[in-house]
Amino acid sequence: MAARHENDPSSIVSILRIVSVHPKLVQPQRVLTLSNLDRQCPKLMHLVFFYNNLPHQTLKDLSLNSVFSNLKSGLEETLTLWYPGAGRLRPNQSDGKLNLWCSNQGAVLAEAETPLKISQLGNLSEYNEFFEKLVYEPACDGNFSNMPLIVAQVTKFGCGGYSIGIGTSHSLFDGPATYDFLYAWASNSEIVKRRRNGELPKPVHERGILQISNSSLNAQKGRAMAIDHLYQLIMQATSGQKGFPMQIGVGGGLSNQNKCVLKTYHLSGVMIDDLKRKHFSMQRGSIPFSTFEVLAAHLWKARTKALGVRKEKLVCLQFAVDIRSKMIPSLPNGFSGNAYVLASIMMSVGELEQASHESIIEKIREAKNNVNHGYVKAYIDALEGPQASSLPPLKELTLVSDWTRMPFHNIEFFHGKATSACPLATPIPQVAYFMQSPIDNFGVDVRIGLEAETLSAFTQGFLSRG
């Protein structure tokens, strides 16, 4: 979409009303103790859903008022089970650590409209600054404990289509839990009446085994390679400097970072198959490589080359691993907290250039298999102490998060899937997100933040499948 001036009437989004939404059945107030994984990133993560493929009769029968009312009543019902979403974060007075006060203060829902047509936004999978106007930003008075943990805005476009922009605190839910919450909310809203199959997910909010004291698990602890590798990268970056100016804040965000361009690459199922055939021999009886493994290896090579890191430097690939089944005992079904840690592999740039995709994937699998109960506890222990957020971006560090098992575009707030579910800028924009394509069941959309001067080189290397 062409850049629009702030005074251009067609770019105006008018907020019509803002309401607080509380659980339909009020829950007793209580403090929910968070794990160190929850405390790493308390910021809101935003997604914008677009629905511009509604049947003509549906559009005639809908009004913005009825959509807003149904979303509000559906959220009230959903918050009865997902009641922490109506609470607030606040620090523990004894140690300053963030916990969740289940206070029933409410989520926030806004109603808005714009004369703009959704078709004027262009490719909905590509980040657009206009999307920022489609999510509600609560006023910040400097008191972190007053910030709502769930915010949403429904906007009606001039064409009759809708967007729903939703922000959820990462301290509240991780990706799978966010998906379950949104699925439940969409099901409870019934903007368009339809039959639902199966029961709605029932959340488990207690953090349980992720809070077990360190002293009781010393014998079970392993090493968190992701933390060790991150320290090595920082030591490499600061070698030759006086002092140690950088602090580690794993997942806490980055400061002093250059402006990133958010770019989405669509890899069709055919392109992914071509990539696999080019780099991997598929002998009978061999274990097939997953799409995630293939794309992660390919992206690491392409990004490192595009950034021009010197051959003698160490570079690292880190990727999120779901630990729900890794713990002893396993986390319960419906666990709603953060249940991901980073796995990691490291080598020099020279080694990475010479390594085959197949050998990199073997290292990815090894790192993934090393994530066990002891690894998780060591990882959580490493996050103890004051949280820092002053780690500048490291071009030697490539971060990947797999969202393909969370197809957010399948959330049916209206009848049918969303045309697109686009994430906005995240606390660490350099992370590469692998998302299921809404237009190709076997395709993957890769969203990554890149500095403008490296965009062309990365695009050429990544799409060349070389």
**Cβ–Cβ contacts within 10 Å for residue 389, how many?**
16
In DSSP terms, 321 is beta-bridged to 341
Dihedrals phi, psi of 93, to nearest 5 degrees: -65, -25
Buried b (16+ CB within 10 A) or exposed e, 181-219: bbbbbbbbbebbeeeeeeeebebebebebbeeeeeebee
Q: Which sign, positive or negative, has the C-alpha torsion 386, 389, 390, 396?
A: positive
Decide the pairing of beta strands 14-21 and 107-113: antiparallel
Q: Which two tokens stand for residue 337?
A: 């907290």
Rounded Cα distance between 68 and 109, Å, is 9
Q: Which one-letter amino acid corresponds to residue 136?
A: Y
CA distances from 29 to 80, 91, 207 (A): 13, 16, 17
Q: Which sign, positive or negative, has the C-alpha torsion 217, 222, 226, 227?
A: positive
Rounded Cα distance between 144 and 91, Å, is 9
Q: What is the 3-state composition of the chain as percent helix, strand, coil, each rounded to the nearest 5?
A: 35, 20, 45
Strands (E), 64-172: 88-91, 98-102, 107-113, 150-156, 162-169
Rounded Cα distance between 443 and 435, Å, is 9
Annotated catalytic residue: which of 5, 22, 56, 170? 170
Rounded Cα distance between 245 and 66, Å, is 54
- Residue 229 designated active-site: no
Taking only Cα atoms into account, the Rg of the chain, rounded to an integer number of angstroms, comes to 23
Task: Answer whether the bond into residue 329 is a cis peptide, omega within 30°.
Answer: yes
Dihedrals phi, psi of 361, to nearest 5 degrees: -65, -40
Q: Which one-letter amino acid corresponds to residue 116?
A: L
Residue 354 burial class via C-beta count within 10 angstroms: exposed 0-12, middle 13-18, buried 19 and up: exposed
Active site residues: 170
